[in-house]
Structure 1
Amino acid sequence: MTDSKFPRSTKIVATIGTATDDQNIIKKLIKTGVNVFRLNFSHGNHGDHLKRITYIRSAEKEMNANVAILADLQGPKFRIGAVKNESKVIKGSNYIFDKNPEIGDFKRVNLPHDEIFKSLSIGSNILMDDGKLKFKVKDISKDEIKTEVVVGGAIKSNKGVNLPDVVLNTSPLTSKDIEDLKFILNQEIDWVALSFVQKLKDVEEVKKYIVDKAGVIAKIEKPSALKELNEIIEACEGIMVARGDLGVELAPEEVPGIQKEIILKCRQAGKPVIVATQMLESMIETPSPTRAEASDVATAVFDGADAVMLSAETAIGSYPLETVSIMDRIITSAENHIKINPGDGPQNLRRENFIYNAVSRSAVSLAESVNAKAVVAFTASGNTAYRMSRERSNLLLVVMTPEINVKRKLSLLWGACPFFSKVQGYEAAIQEAREIIKNKNFAKEGETIVVVAGMPFGISGSTNSIRVVEI
């Protein structure tokens, strides 16, 4: 019998980069608590990513672990051209964005994006360099955008531009994204994240490329996406609260409330939600986080996020293993606090007249009433697991699936502890689950579990059966 600690419910997503580009380090990251590895396609080439995928899948097999891989597309990025050194703009002065490719200065700069010229209107705001500079549009012609400097400072070459008031009439996929997708969809990738989603049509366009080869995660980092948030959540398989660009385009005081709203809406819809960006940012260079960062991670846990994400901390940071270890400790501490103080945890969901969700809710209630040690969900598609997870119960959620790709995808799901099912038939599957639970020390002989499944057994699309089983 192998010993196994009770798994934590909130998952950790870690970005692979130059600091973690090594199979031994990847194995240590899995051991330390990483559930999902993120490949950032804004950096590196296909050869780099193929090597990392090979490392991850080799480590997963060697360690008999279960990890998912998330490919994060770069998306459409808008940047200014080159600028002379020491170019500064002063509040109240005029500044021009134009199509002239010559080097810019304190009076003008090249903005080589026709779609911006077509979409802006007088009064629109232009943000530059992660919001450090701000300009208000005063006049627009075919080749020039005349602005007034609202927040001045140094202008640096090739800095990014954000347009918080505008929905750009542009494809969500660049030519680079399309080439990256061709590569991604031929690899063992479980999730694809779509950057800079502006509207529902962006998600729908990308899903035509991906079909069912991977789950689509819409990154919410544009204020315009909030206007169609419910529809976007419905259309995709998961959501990422990408607070970096969202925090640039929105007032900082608005982001925490929006984060809570997105998490709750995703839970209600049964879709996994990741909270990302600057969670333990100081650990890029220091071996311990600030107390504010620790509170930030814990807040995401208290709100009921499925996962919290590390970006530069593990991609280029000096302390990747320490960062994952501390995040694991913060999550575990927050979850233990919720067990003692349930009122501090995720709020109860709105009740729905939907049979499959009602079965899942009843299974949790039954399991708590009979003091069951775990709820076991049998699922071919993963849907039963998503329905069970949304309840955010303190009970262990063991998921049995005959599909390896479903098993991996569920690494992202709150509370899910997925296993590969090798047998056919309801009774045989229950016996298989019993053996796994005993071997993992999740329950002892004589204790009970509650089994949730769809009948007829093995057919996707139904969650309609509950059974109490003794180990």
Structure 2
Amino acid sequence: MHRNRKAKIIATLGPASAEHETIQRLFHAGADVFRLNFSHGTREAHRGYFEKIRAVERQVNRPVGILLDLQGPRIRLGEIEDGAIRVEEGQLVRFELEAGVGNQQRVPVPFAEFFAALKKQMFILADDGRVRLQVEACAADFAEARVVRGQGVLATRRCLSIESGNLQFTAFTEKDRVDLEYGLELGIDWVALPYVQKPQDLVELKRIVAKRARVIAKIDSRASLANLDAIISACDAVMIARGDLGFDTEPEDLPGIQKQVVRAARKVGNPVIVATQLLDSMAVSPVPSRAEASDVAAAIYDGADALMLTTETAAGKQPVAAVQAMSKIIERTESTSHFHEVLSVSHPTSWVTKADAVGAAAQNIADRLDAAAIVAYTSSGSSAFSMARERPKKPIVGITPSAAAARQLALVWGVHAVHCPEATDELKMTELACRIASEQHFARRGESIVISAGVPFGKAGSTNLLRIAEVE
């Protein structure tokens, strides 16, 4: 089976999607990658999710990616009685460093750096920015702040942010270190780090990962935007975390920021993920709003590799319906007559590597010959990444002897990943490419395919071969 779309879907797992049957239905509905959010749940629960995903992978006989999303140094509320309290405009809220279980009288924030950074008249944002509070009094272990705008909930483990605040802490915490080692031992494919403010924030994480997974930097603050190009160059992919960005920027700035980040990532060939509130109403509604459908379509026109569902699939009432809706919107958007015309306007013109040049040539040849598909034989996945950078009209079949690379490619725009035997010479590689293109229903007998590979075979990052073959 293969999808009828190029952009990929990431589904976050949680209480609403914890069962094996639900995960299987999410895959068939369109989920290409599953996200394990280590800000919530126990490590044992995430191990359960991991094992169920791999069981589904074996059943469907398709590579399925798994993304570990680290918590990072986020300011999160502690445990609150009955899960949440509601706050209204004008209400005074007391935050405490050591407050036990919170209630209407006191709200726990077990994060000393939060209180250290506060000053009178500063603003605190809560409930995804719906609630704005102004600090009236504060010390090292408490703060009193009044709701000056909006109404909403303060819920267990939900994030707080200091508006335009400059919190000084490391992006990679001790909890992240333990969670990362745990995930790498399981065999995760991608790892995302939040609150990356500069490329140096990724150094320790990449040292531990040691190429056992690919690294995603989350763009979620003004600081990360200020160092955007350097951060993109230091990682394998980026995620536009619009929820956290919304804490640090104005709503009217987000559409432009989204385009800026997508274009910067595409320029160097790094996948880019758009996340947060894409189909937010589907946490409770069976259908998306018109505005949400337009938001999804806008991200696709921007050229995003993947879109991520969070609450919709982790805690929503109809997680499968949310994936189905997103898949349909993407398919319909990509089928419009002007889709590739819009993508070409924002296409990066410079070639970053030799592999990028080969990718551009492969697209050109495939279009001129009306080839059935472009096949990238790749040890590490880099050839397929370069093909995806070009956003070709023809399908990309990424074939690799590495199961890990095949799973990583599940996130990349337009790539249909296939785990295959290793080829030892050009003839065997060509025969393998033709056979897989036929078996996967991308090419029929007599049709041409364009093949890229690297010589010598098995050497990662050596893309230097381009050839045309006819399927027999």
> What TM-score, normalized by structure 1, do the two folds share?
0.89
Q: Which residue in the other structure is 1:55 paired with?
A: 52
Contact 2:130 2:152 in 1 (8 A): no
Partner of 1:114: 112
Distance of 1:10 and 1:431 partners within structure 2? 28
Corresponding residue for residue 160 of structure 2: 161
Encode CA deviations 1:364-402: one digit per residue, 9 max, x unaligned. Answer: 111111111111111111111111100111111011111
In structure 2, relative to structure 1, the CA distance for the partners of 1:457 and 1:74 (3 Å cut) is same
Identity of aligned residues (%): 39
User: How far off is 1:468 after superposition?
Assistant: 1.2
Structure 1 unaligned residues grouped into runs of 5+: none
Determine the structure 2 residue equivalent to 1:193.
192
Q: Cα deviations across residues 270-314 of structure 1 (Å, max 9, x unaligned)?
A: 111111111111112121111111111111111111111111111
Deviates more, 1:153-162 or 1:280-289: 153-162
**Rounded Cα–Cα distance in structure 2 between residues aligned with 1:204 and 1:16:** 28
2:204 corresponds to which residue? 205
Pairing 1:108-187 to 2, within 5 Å after superposition: 113-119=111-117, 125-135=123-133, 151=149, 156=154, 160-187=159-186
Helix, strand or coil: the match of 1:185? helix
Alpha-carbon distance change, 210 to 369 in structure 1, aligned in 2, over 3 angstroms? same
SS of 2:227's equivalent in the other structure is: helix
Change (3 A) 1:133 1:399: closer
Note if contact 2:78-2:102 (Cα within 8 Å) is conserved in structure 1.
yes
- Equivalenced residues, count: 465
Quote how far apart the aligned CAs of 1:66 are: 1.4
Is the aligned partner of 1:426 residue 2:423? no
Q: Which residue of 2 is the match for residue 277 of structure 1? A: 276
Match of 2:454 in 1: 454
Matches within 5 A, 1:8-407: 8-79=5-76, 90=90, 113-119=111-117, 125-135=123-133, 151=149, 156=154, 160-337=159-336, 339-345=337-343, 347-352=346-351, 354-407=353-406
Matches of 2:152 and 2:59, distance apart in 1: 51
* Matching residue's letter, 2:14: G
Query: For 2:34, what is the secondary structure of its paired residue?
Result: strand
**Which stretch shows the higher mean deviation, 274-283 or 420-429?**
420-429
TM-superposed CA distance for 1:12, in Å, is 0.8
CA contact (8 A) 1:89 1:155 kept: no
Aligned partners of 1:7 and 1:152: how far apart in 2?
Answer: 42
Displacement after TM superposition at 1:177 (Å): 2.3
Amino acid at match of 2:428: A
Partner AA of 1:239 in structure 2: V
2:424–2:457 contact (8 Å) kept in structure 1: no
8 Å CA contact 2:202, 2:234 repeated in 1: yes
Contact 2:127 2:152 in 1 (8 A): no
Compute the TM-score of the two structures, normalised by the length of structure 2.
0.88
2:267 touches 2:350 (CA, 8 Å); kept in 1?
no
Residues 450 and 468 of structure 2 are in contact (CA less than 8 Å); yes or no, is this contact kept in structure 1? yes
What is the CA-CA distance between 1:455 and the residue it aligns to? 2.3
Change (3 A) 1:431 1:128: same
The separation in 2 between residues aligned to 1:106 and 1:419, in whole angstroms, is 54
Question: For 2:316 and 2:289, how far apart are their aligned partners in 1?
Answer: 16
Shift of 1:151: 3.8
In structure 1, distance between residues paired with 2:181 and 2:20: 25
Please say if residues 87 and 105 of structure 1, whose CA atoms lie closer than 8 Å, have aligned partners that are also in contact.
no
Check conservation: 1:76, 1:174, Cα contact below 8 A. yes
1:98/1:331 Cα in 2 relative to 1: closer, same or farther (>3 Å)?
A: closer
Cα distance per residue 1:219-251 (max 9 Å; x no partner)? 222222111111111111111111112113211
Matched, 1:441 2:438: no
What is the CA RMSD across the aligned residues, in angstroms? 3.0
Preserved contact between residue 239 and residue 271 of structure 1 (Cα < 8 Å): yes
Tell me the SS of whatever aligns to 1:464.
strand
Structure 2 gaps of 5+ residues are none
Which SS does the other structure have where 2:36 is aligned?
strand
